[in-house]
Amino acid sequence: MTRGSNAQEEAICRCSSLYFHITERGITEKFHNRHRRLLREERMDVRYNDDCIFTPNVTVFKTDTPQPELMPESDWYTVDVVTCAAPNLREQPSNAMNPGSGKKPVRLSERKLLELHIKRMRRILGIAKQEQEEVLILGAFGCGAFCNSPKVVAEAMAEAVKEFAYDFTAIEFAVYCSPGDTRNYDEFQRRLGT
């Protein structure tokens, strides 16, 4: 977020109070520093784990534009956010955006990756259900900078969502793609579109 990355997660942080919530001292120690320590001690690899942060009452106060602008206070609204890391499948996991992720890439079969994504998606959906959320907006979990297969992620989401279909009023998929590369959108549309 603070190093210039432009993924959906960073866009949410730029337009809302989410970044301030997830970097509070207690959360930094219990979540972020703990995970950095596990990576450094090689007790966790860049698949990361199923840990999540549930952040209620995140205030959205800026526009979602290339240069976010402060909205009139009467247009501000609140959302609840579940934060969870997708597996980092880059050939070189560590970079300027993820400096502590190490140099060892993870190799997973498509089946193992699918199982991991189903498990992680069930965790996210389970938290949303427990918190009595009504509407979910899900992104293309890890299909950008972390190089996860959109085919596998869309299939995992379709599988996990089946189990929770009646727990929410709506589940929307916000899958960004650039005009020149629609692979993520196309795969999600094929697997999850109506």
Domain of residue 45, CATH code: 3.40.220.10
Give the pLDDT confidence of 152-172 residue by residue, as tens digits: 999 999 999 999 989 999 999
Q: Which of 139, 194, 192, 177 is nearest to 12 (CA)?
A: 139
Count structural domains, the chain: 1
Q: Which residues contact 133 (CB under 8 A, 6 or more apart)?
A: 80, 168
**Residue 58 maps to a domain:** yes
User: Is residue 96 one of the residues assigned to a domain?
Assistant: yes
Contact in structure between 188 and 150 (CB atoms under 8 Å):
yes
3 domain residue, yes or no: no
The residues with which 77 forms a beta bridge, in sequence order, are 60
List the structure tokens of 45: 């690899």
Task: For residue 1, tell me if it sits in a domain.
Answer: no
* Domain assignment of residue 120, given as a range: 8-192
The verdict on residue 120 lying in a domain is yes
Mean pLDDT of 11-20: 94
Model's pTM, two decimal places? 0.88
- What does the pLDDT look like over 19-42, one tens digit per residue? 999 998 888 888 888 888 888 888
State mean pLDDT over 94-106: 61
pLDDT at residue number 168: 98
- 159: in domain: yes
Under 8 Å between Cβ of 128 and 87: no
Sorted by sequence, the CB contacts under 8 Å of residue 83 that are 6+ apart come out as 9, 18, 22, 52, 53, 54, 55
Distance CA 44, CA 28 (A): 18
Q: Is residue 2 part of a domain?
A: no
Inside any domain, residue 131? yes
How many other CB atoms are there within 10 angstroms of residue 29's CB atom? 10
